[in-house]
Structure 1
Amino acid sequence: MARPIAKDHSEKRAHILRIAARVFADGGIARASMAQVAEACGISKANIYHYYDSKDALVFDILDSYLRTLRDRLAQLDRQGENPASQLLRFVNETLLAYEGMDAEHQIQTDGIASLGCKEQEILKSYQRDMVVQLGDILRFCAPPNLVGTKAGLKATTMSVFGMLNWFYMWNRNATQVDRTRYAEHVTALVLGRTSA
């Protein structure tokens, strides 16, 4: 008979994901073990295998949860009635706000995705592509034509915006929401060629 799912299964799973992300970020995914994750979570090694049958499954769930949630948060922004410049500011600001408190999850993306199988990689990369397409659709209608007038230019501008946001995340992890909003205004002004947003 299958073991019944505990009432607090979802809460425990969420706890494991957050702690495991920190363990992987601190020690590196390749070096960290499931035993280390279990110890950091305050549970037995046997218990963690009740939730995840392998380290790859755990890494995938961390990144799937993080990237899917981020993608959905940005996709659900209500842009109706806003001009493209305002849409850009909202998208950039919302991205920076979404990064708050997600340092470990954000940090392990590159190594984490590369460590997984092709099927899992494709799922995670699809979330990233969706966000790139969404931002590109906004930039196409508000950025200067010399930046986005070609497919290559649009891609370069889109990825440069994400690069600026990731720089801010790397060097300003303790930034307040006000700091994040100010930087969003700064990025928007740079992209639009204005002295202020």
Structure 2
Amino acid sequence: MARTRAEDFEEKQHQLLLTAAHVFATQGMDKASMSQIAAEAGVSKSLLYHYYPSKDALIFAIIHTHLEELDDALGAAIDPALTPRGQLETLVLTVLESYRGADDQHKVQLNAGPALSDDQKARIHQVERRIVKRFSAIIRDIHPELDRPERPLLMPVTMSLFGMMNWVYMWFRDGGPVSREDYAQVATTLILEGVKAVR
């Protein structure tokens, strides 16, 4: 008879991934062990292996789950009633809010390359492309000239915006002089106004 899922399965699984991400981020990919992660999470090693048969599978799950949750949040944040600029600022703020407390996942994502198979990397890139496309589509609506074949600047501009968002964890502190809402406005303005000088 198959084991039925507990009602709080998804919550426990999510907490397990957060704990594992913290262990990987603090101990390093090579040094962190499944035994360590199980102990830190307060579960048996056999239960951990039941859900994640290898350390690589666990690393993949941390990154893939984090990106899927981000993509879902971005999809829910889209509001056709907003102007394109308002939509872009909303998406930027959604990313910044999703990054709240996600420093460990970022560190795992940055250092996970050697631990992932080609198939796992392809699945992660698929989600990343969906996320990037949400932003590039709005930037194209505002500045269609960025997508000219003779001077294709849409992707460099879009990825420059991600550069600003993805590294915010290195310096941003909640409760500081700049709020996430403030920085969403700043990043949006820098991109939309800055491209006018590089066209």
TM range (shorter): 0.7 to 0.9
Q: 2:167 aligns to what SS in structure 1? A: helix
1:162 is aligned to 162
Matches within 5 A, 1:31-50: 31-50=31-50
Matches within 5 A, 1:77-156: 77-143=77-143, 145=145, 149=148, 152-156=152-156
1:193 is aligned to 193
| Distance in 2 of aligned mates of 1:131 and 1:115 | 23
- Per the normalisation by structure 1, the TM-score is 0.86
| Distance in 2 of aligned mates of 1:123 and 1:133 | 16
Q: 1:125 aligns to what SS in structure 2? A: helix
Relative to structure 2, which stretch is displaced further, 9-18 or 148-157?
148-157
In structure 1, runs of 5+ residues without a counterpart are none
The answer to whether the Cα contact below 8 Å between 1:140 and 1:148 also exists between their aligned partners in 2 is yes
| Distance in 2 of aligned mates of 1:8 and 1:91 | 30
State the 1:144 CA deviation: 8.2
How many equivalent residue pairs? 192
1:56 is aligned to 56
Q: 2:80 aligns to what SS in structure 1? A: coil
2:17 is aligned to 17
In structure 2, runs of 5+ residues without a counterpart are 195-199
Give the aligned residue type for 2:71. R
State the 1:117 CA deviation: 1.2
| Distance in 2 of aligned mates of 1:21 and 1:38 | 12
- Per the normalisation by structure 2, the TM-score is 0.85
State the 1:175 CA deviation: 5.3
Relative to structure 2, which stretch is displaced further, 99-108 or 43-52?
43-52
| Distance in 2 of aligned mates of 1:191 and 1:92 | 11
State the 1:48 CA deviation: 1.8
| Distance in 2 of aligned mates of 1:153 and 1:92 | 19
| Distance in 2 of aligned mates of 1:175 and 1:108 | 25
Q: 2:69 aligns to what SS in structure 1? A: helix
Q: 2:124 aligns to what SS in structure 1? A: helix
Give the aligned residue type for 2:23. V
State the 1:113 CA deviation: 4.6
| Distance in 2 of aligned mates of 1:3 and 1:83 | 49
